[in-house]
Amino acid sequence: MNWAVVALSKKSLQLALKIKSKIKTIDIYVVDRYANERAMPIVGKLKEFNGFLFKSYETIVYIMATGIVVRDIQPYLKHKSIDPAILVLDTNGRFVISLLSGHLGGANEKAKYLASEINAIPVITTASDCMNKLSVDMIAKANNLRIKSFEKAKDITALIVNDEKVGIFIESDRLIYDIPEYIEYVEKLDKGLDIKGLICISNKAKMDFDVNAVQLIPRNIVIGVGCRKDISVENFESFIKDEMIKANISLKAVESIVSIDLKNEEKCIIEFAKKHRIVFDTYTKEELAKVEDRFEGSSFVKSITGVSSVCITSGYLKSGKGTCLVPKVKKDGMTMSIWQM
């Protein structure tokens, strides 16, 4: 567990050590005079040290007054999709408050877990949790979906909390999710749906809705690529994005980009994958050769790589022999194909 616990007093240090006895992998930070072999010193003022904590930990537990925490972490808050989970405990260890990133950061569940470990009371104030209903961001997290608009997600969650009629549309029949019974399944995006809000699970880049709707994007797209050596990062990214736009497929839907292992060190692919948080994977020529007869190949490509096709065979394999949405496209020494898992 990538957790940090921050304690400012001798009493709160004792509670931090109790937590560490239950969760072995946490790091404890204290004011300098209480530092020892089990607790590291806070460097400088806590307000500035929080910058280090926010960069280094997925969960931060503060044993102090909530007001101090709220004021001191404010400069480091960015967005609930990336902020760490923040928990606050009183020095007696009676309450564990889920303060920040309750859903996407997992603070609500972590508060419950920590409270159970130290015999405390978890304090959860999120409306959907209090009413035992899943929010849109929890549905997204549970099913590995990306949220296109957090504002829309908040709007639809408000409808759910207020017992309004919300529907869900799932574009691909290959996608199976656990959907709460209080959300109605919608078979088609017809006009005049008898619902107040809609959750749409689709990998499309652009969609039009007749009702208040939020789009959740499944990561079910694989891009198979091939390229000449030393293609620029800019040209490669432009090529990929242009084809994604033409196909009306969201870049947020891309789970992985894949090629032949000769491209393991190809900078343009590595940088593209890193920038967009996409997995970069490769296959050997022997693996690709097993399926190359299924697709049109190139003798030139075979003379270079040992297999007649790279982008389409690698995409086919990585997608689990999925659906080809965009067959092989070529441009300026680059090739790509788009597959749906």
Longest dimension (CA), the chain: 74
Q: Which residue has the higher pLDDT, 189 or 235?
A: 235
Residues 6+ apart with CB under 8 A from 7: 13, 15, 16, 28, 29, 30, 34, 39, 63, 64
Report H helices in the chain: 10-22, 46-56, 66-73, 107-118, 127-130, 136-142, 150-161, 233-246, 267-275, 285-289, 299-305, 311-318
pTM listed for this prediction: 0.74
| pLDDT tens-digit readout, 56-65 | 999 999 999 9
Check residue 67 and give its pLDDT: 93
Token digits for 138? 């929890």
- Cβ–Cβ < 8 Å for 280, 262: no
Q: What does the alpha-carbon distance between residue 84 and residue 64 come to, in Å, rounded to a whole number?
A: 18
With the CA atoms of 35, 41, 44 and 47 taken in that order, what torsion angle do they form, in degrees rounded to the nearest 10? -110
**What is the Cβ-side half-sphere exposure of residue 236, based on CA atoms within 13 angstroms?**
21
pLDDT in the model for residue 129: 67
For Cα atoms 85, 90, 95, give the angle at the middle one, nearest 5 degrees.
70
What would be the CATH architecture of the domain defined by 136-218?
Answer: 3-Layer(aba) Sandwich (3.40)
pLDDT at 227 over 90: yes
Query: How do strand 3-7 and strand 27-30 relate by DSSP bridges?
Result: parallel
User: Do 221-340 and 3-125 have the same topology in CATH?
Assistant: no
Q: Where are the domains of the chain?
A: 3-125, 136-218, 221-340
Distance of CA 15 to the CA centre of its chain: 32
What's residue 188's pLDDT?
85
Q: Which of 66-75, 125-134, 246-255, 303-312 has the lowest mean pLDDT?
A: 125-134
Query: What pLDDT, on a 0 to 100 scale, did the predictor assign at position 176?
Result: 66
Q: Per-residue pLDDT averaged across 277-303, rounded?
A: 91
Report the CATH number of the 3-125 domain: 3.40.50.11220
Q: How confident is the model at residue 175 (pLDDT cuts 50, 70, 90)?
A: low
Six-digit token string for 255: 């789970």
CATH T-level fold of 221-340: Nucleotidyltransferase; domain 5 (3.30.420)
Residues of the chain with pLDDT > 70, as a percent, come to: 98
Average pLDDT across the chain, whole number: 91
- At residue 172, does pLDDT exceed 70? yes
Average pLDDT of the segment spanning 274-283? 95
- Any idea which residue has 């921050």 for tokens? 6
Q: What is the pLDDT of residues 136-153, one digit of tens each?
A: 888 888 888 999 998 998
Poorest-pLDDT segment among 21-25, 41-45, 190-194, 258-262 = 190-194
Whether residue 196 has pLDDT greater than 80? yes
Of 4-8, 93-97, 105-109, 149-153, the poorest mean pLDDT is in 105-109
Residue 281: CB atoms within 10 Å: 17
Q: Is 117 helix (H, G, I), strand (E, B) or coil?
A: helix
